[in-house]
Amino acid sequence: MATAKTSCSGAARVTAAPESPWRQEIPLELFELYRSDNLEYVREQSGRIFTPHRLRAVGRATRLDAVMCSRRMRDVSLTYASYGAEVQIACGELRDYYVVQIPLSGGMVVRHGRRQAWSGRETASVLSPFDPLRMRWSADCAQLVCRIERPALESRLSEMMGRSLTAPLSFDTAMNVADGPGRAWRLWLENIVAELSRPDSFVDDPLVLPGIEQTLMAGLLVSQPHNYLSALRRQQRSVPSRVVRLVVDRMEADPGFPHTTASLAKAVGVTDRSLQLAFRKELNLRPMEYLRRVRLRRVHDELLAAEAETVSVTEVAQKWGFSHVGHFAARYRERFGENPSDTLRRG
């Protein structure tokens, strides 16, 4: 990626290029939608992924050198986009989704309603579904764009707060991704992109995907200022010990089920953040860490009781909720000091 942050007025600020977490030349290259210099074609195809909009080249540009790669999971879509020329983009309200745009090189000016912000490598832009949008991308601007469906994000917030929303969720436009919680969220997003960029990615596994999206949404809700953030932080109240026991009993009863912290919290009538704090206080573990221990114990017991000729390690691991055998094997060795295949042979 380029190392210069170039403003739309031509001023340049030089910064060190971060190490890329993905293996391809560009993120999400496995999911390329187009490479084109045709402005109308680019506008039409981009409008299908996001919102119909106006697009025009400005400055010295006469032709585009545009690239777009995009991958939709379920409620979250991740896109890499660059135009290869200085462009202006304008559209009405997004309406149905929220967007986080993280420049990987270059930058842009964002005008969202009455708010205006410069977005570069250290400052992402967060767009709520309201107000008209205008953007001016520098010629070297390339962005990682995270689209989150509005119903899913608002539902996630409602679950975390333990009540219905009384007004639409609205974020501040500028997001610091250079340090603090914003940086942690950016790194988490880039790790997901890196995993999606692998041909053998486990992200699409139905046992994994819900948790990834829920964590991504929750992370955004606690790291970026919005009109519910103060109320959300007040919601971090204590939870009775009996609630932790109810969740533990649910895990023990069906550890192979694709539980998430959000689903467990909802089942016992608390917020997921409250449940996490209660688990930390009572057991010094996160809920998913405890669930992993339960699953590992069940696998270990079954391997000890099984005959190596009639069962496989992979079969047993998947039965108890482990979808990625390599990660499972590493966790198993950490827990029991031997490979699962060794346990099976001793059975």
Q: pLDDT at residue 2 above 70?
A: no
> Who contacts 203 (Cβ-Cβ below 8 Å, separation ≥6)?
73, 192, 195, 196, 209, 212
- Which region holds residue 331: left if phi is over 0, alpha if psi is between -120 and 50, else beta? alpha
Q: pLDDT at residue 335 above 80?
A: yes
- pLDDT class of 236 with cuts at 50, 70, 90: low
Distance CA 129, CA 127 (A): 7
Distance CA 327, CA 317 (A): 11
Please state the pTM of the whole predicted model.
Answer: 0.67
Query: Could you tell me which residue, 65 or 233, shows the higher pLDDT?
Result: 65
Buried b (16+ CB within 10 A) or exposed e, 16-43: eeeeeebeeebbbeebebeebeebeebb
Helix (H) or strand (E) holding 226: none
Rounded to 5°, angle at Cα 331 from 304 and 219? 140
Query: Rounded to an integer, what is the distance from CA 24 to the centroid of its chain?
Result: 19
Minimum mean pLDDT range among 10-24, 123-137, 209-223, 253-267: 10-24
Distance CA 117, CA 311 (A): 59
Distance CA 237, CA 281 (A): 12
Residue 203, pLDDT score: 83
Minimum mean pLDDT range among 84-88, 253-257, 264-268: 264-268
Domains of the chain, first to last: 4-155 (2.60.120.10)
Query: Could you tell me which residue, 26 or 172, shows the higher pLDDT?
Result: 172
- pLDDT class of 161 with cuts at 50, 70, 90: confident
- Cβ atoms of 15 and 5 closer than 8 Å: yes
Q: What is the pLDDT of residues 91-144, one digit of tens each?
A: 999 999 999 999 999 999 999 988 999 999 999 999 999 999 999 999 999 999
